[in-house]
Structure 1
């Protein structure tokens, strides 16, 4: 049985306190009100923070922005443009990798990065 990942707000609160940020200071650095941050951490918000706020949280907490976006139920802002850049190939690729294990996805990611580097003339 796999452990369930924490909710976005719970994760933010745990990481914030582990990093030593007070609720008020973290909210100030992120650019939101302490009241809103409190609601986020209690998972009591209807709409998760904006993409730029999630990115700022990731930066401050030293966490993966993509992981936080996923936990918040948001898609990183660059992905729609990436998909639209190749409207046939990208959706097909996403469908093809659906169901792969994290290990298989990591291998595929490494291979794609290698292919991109080999094709880069710089």
Structure 2
């Protein structure tokens, strides 16, 4: 499974950016970007920073947001609406990988 830091570091290198160059484009301190790339940041970046990272690095915004451990703002209401069902769903997916694959396959087929 990819890690947030590894993914953005590789994408940054693939695009030819130095940490300082990319940090400047994003309006971040380059030391914070370094911590993100090494999965040593004290906190996950804000959604806006993640979206900017995705934009500059050619990555999928929503996937990067989830990988960073955040939930996209547009999904927050859905989760709040179904907050009682979420623990059951996640527990079931964790306990039964085949169920998880079935749910994900079904979701992919409906897109």
TM range (shorter): 0.7 to 0.9
Say which structure is richer in helix.
2
TM (norm. structure 2) is 0.77
Q: State the 1:7 CA deviation.
A: 1.2
C-alpha root-mean-square deviation of aligned residues, in Å? 2.5
Say whether residues 1:24 and 2:20 are aligned partners.
yes
Q: State the 1:69 CA deviation.
A: 1.1
Give every structure 1 segment of 4 or more consecutive aligned residues whose post-TM-superposition deviation is greater than 6 Å: none
2: CA distance, partners of 1:59 / 1:50: 14
Aligned length: 101
Choose from 29, 46, 50 the match for 2:42. Answer: 46
| 2:105 alignment partner, SS class | helix
Report what 1:37 is aligned to: 33
Say whether residues 1:70 and 2:66 are aligned partners.
yes
Choose from 87, 93, 103 the match for 2:105. Answer: 103
TM (norm. structure 1) is 0.70
Structure (1 or 2) with the larger CA radius of gyration:
1
